[in-house]
Structures are given as structure tokens and as C-alpha cells.
Structure 1
């Protein structure tokens, strides 16, 4: 399993969501993407998008930075 990293702390929605979607679509099955963000609107939108198949998402907030751990799963 490979891991990818995306720092979106300088981006705001809708660009943050667009960049996150673009990176996530390139993931292979069971590959993970770690996303950093501190924009609350972007975090909410990304968490909503990645909570739908084929993705799973976990969030961790620490000192004004939220880390989203996105994994692409097999939907079959």
C-alpha cells in the first residue's frame, strides 16, 4: 500500500476540494491519501465527499490543522 500526501493549508474551497478530488481519483484500491487543511469549509466539504464510496475518511484535528486520512476501497 502506497501513501500520498497533500498539503492544502494555503488553499480555500472550492480549490482545496478540487485538488483533493483530483489527487484521490488517482489512488489505486487500498491506497491512502493524507490531506492537511485548516479551512473549516474545505474540511467539511472534503469529509462529506470522501465519506461516500469508494472512499473512507478519518479526521484528526490538532492545533488548528485537520488531517484527513482518505483511503480508496474496493466497492464490490
Structure 2
């Protein structure tokens, strides 16, 4: 079940700007946003999930472990 948190229009604009920045950065680096990432980012912008939840859902979709630190990632062979 989706939980929708009411966010202010100012917060939604801030989230939209952050999402646009992320998409632009990916494109400038020659990449393309994965559909699952786009879907979760849209849910973040609308206020139904937090950015932490969006990241976790994308990680889960790729079978990545939860909440790995950079040090833990560097230890994976």
C-alpha cells in the first residue's frame, strides 16, 4: 500500500529541481536513467516515498544488499 505524504508546493518544486539535476547529470555523463529509477524518482517527487526509500527500492530491484557503506562496497570481490 502506498502512503502519500502531503508535501508543500515549495518542497515539490525542490524535489522536481533535484530530479531534473540528477537526470541532467546522468545524461551529461553519457548515461541513461533506468526505468525503475525514473519510477521511484517520480514517486519521491510526488511525496509518496522518501529519497532513502527510492534509493533502497532501486537497490533491491538490482539485487543489491541493503545500506552498504562505501567501505563495504570496496571490499566486494
More helix by share: 2
Q: Between the two structures, name the one with larger relative contact order (CA 8 Å, sep ≥ 6).
A: 1
Normalization by structure 1: what TM-score? 0.29
Larger radius of gyration: 2
More strand by share: 1
